[in-house]
Structure 1
Amino acid sequence: MARHLGEDPLVVSAVIHASIERQVLDASLRVLERHSREPSVVAGLSKVLKDLGTPTDLRPNVAGEFVLSHRTCEVLGGKETEFLTSMGITNVDEARFRSLRLTWVRQANEATLLKFWRTYYEALPKDPDDVSGIEAAAEQAKKAIADASGPARFLYDQISLFTDTNDHPFATAIAQRRVLKAGLTFAKGLVRPDPASRESRDPFGNGPLKYASPGGNLRIYSVGLDGKDDGGDRKRDLGIELPYPSNLKR
C-alpha cells in the first residue's frame, strides 16, 4: 500500500508512503526485541527490510508538483473575466480592468510556485538516504520564495511540515531502518557495523547510532527528534534493546 501511494507524483503521496513505512518499521523493531534469538523471525524481518527497498525518493514527487502547478495555472489562464462575471461584475470595462490585475497576480504566483518546485527539485540529492541533503534542499527552496505572498507564501509556511529534519517522516524512517539493520546484524551474531559508515549514522545526531549495555542487554538507538541523547529512553529516543550476543565482546 505504501509503495503504491508513493508512486503518485505528489509530495503528499511520498509523505503518506513514509508514514506507513514508519509504522511497519516500528512494528519490526518491537518484534525483533521480543524474538531476536529466533532465526526464523530474524530471517523474516531481514526480508521485510529488504522488501522495503530504498528510502522514499522525493524527486519524482517534486517534479510532479511542478507539472501540476504549471497545468493548474494553464487551466486558470484566461478565465479571469469569466470568474468576475460569475461574481456579479457585469460591466464589461470594469471586468476587463479587474481581469488584467487578476492576470498579473496569477502569473506572478505561477512564476513563484514554479520557481519553488524547480529549485527544490534541482537541490534534492540523488541519494534518498541523504537526510542532510534533503533538509538543505528544503531550506534552499524556501529561501527562493522567502518574499512571496498568496498561495506561494502558504506553500512556504507549510513545506517545513514534511521537510525539516526535526519534523518530517523521512528522517525518522531512515533512522528506524538503520536501527533495525544494526539490530539484525547483532541478532545474526555478526560483527558490529562500521560506525564510520553512513548506514551507521544517526539522522538526528552528529555521529553514529548510539550503543549502550543496560542490565546485560544491548541497546541500539538514535537520539530521536529532539536531538538529545537520553540513553535510549523509549519515550525520547528511537531504538531497540536486545539480549547481548554471547559471541561478541562488550
Structure 2
Amino acid sequence: MHLAGKHAVVTGGGTGIGLAIARGLAEDGATVTITGRRIEVLEEVATPGLHPLAMDVTNEDSVVSGFAEATAAHGPVQIVVANAGLAEGRTLAKMDMAFWRKILATNLDGAFLTLREAMKTMSTTEWGRVITMASIAGVRGLRGAPAYTASKHGLIGLTRGLSEDYIAAPYTFNAICPGYVETPIVTRNSADIAAKTGMSEDEARQLLVKSNRHRTMLEVDEIAGAARWLCSDAARSVNGQCIEIAGGQM
C-alpha cells in the first residue's frame, strides 16, 4: 500500500488499459479518479477505490472543471495517467482535415490539457508521477496510420520536454509505448481491417499479433505493471523515458 494517501487521475479509465492501471494503483493504496466521456461506463466499474468522473479530454472547459472537481473531492493530484486516446487509421490520400484534427485533438491536445491541469495541483506537493500512454507508433511509423503515428510521436516529445522543464522537481515524466494489447480497440481494429481488405476478422487479428515482436498479443496487466513500477520508489530516477512493451526491440 505504498501509494496510500496519494490521489491518482487516470483518463480513459473505464475500460482496457486505463481500467487495469486504475485498479492496480488502487491495489497499491491510491485513491483513483477514473475519467471518460461516458459516465455510465465509469459507474459500472466503480469501486470504493475508483471514483468515476465524466470528463472529455478534447474539451478544455471539461478538463479544467474535471480536475477542479477531482481535487476538491480527493486532494491534489500526485499521479496522472494520460491514457485517453483514439486508435484509428487512415491513409494520407483518404484523410481529411476533420479526421486529422479528431486524432490530434484526442491523443495530443487531450494529453496536453490533462497534464497542464494535473501539474497545477501536483506542483503544490513534494512528490508526483506523470505517465503518458504512447505506443510503438510513437517510436516508429505505423503503416496506414500517419495521423495516429504523428500524435504518439508528439506525445513522447511532450513527455520528454516536460521531464526537462521539471528536472529539478520531485516529479517524473515517462511514456509507456505498448504494442498491440488485448483490448476492445484490437477487436474494433480487426473488424475494420477485415472490412477494408476482405480478409476474415481472425486473419486481421493475426496481422496485428504479428506486429508484436514475440508474435503474441499483450495483456493489460503487463502495461498496468509497468505503470505501477513507474509509481514506485524503485523508479524514482526513471525520468523522460519511453518504456517499450512489445515483445522485443522495436
- After TM superposition, the score normalised by the length of structure 2 is 0.31
If each structure's strand is expressed as a fraction of its own residues, which one has the higher value? 2
For the pair shown, the structure with the greater C-alpha radius of gyration is: 1
| Bigger share in helix | 1
- TM-score, normalization by structure 1: 0.31
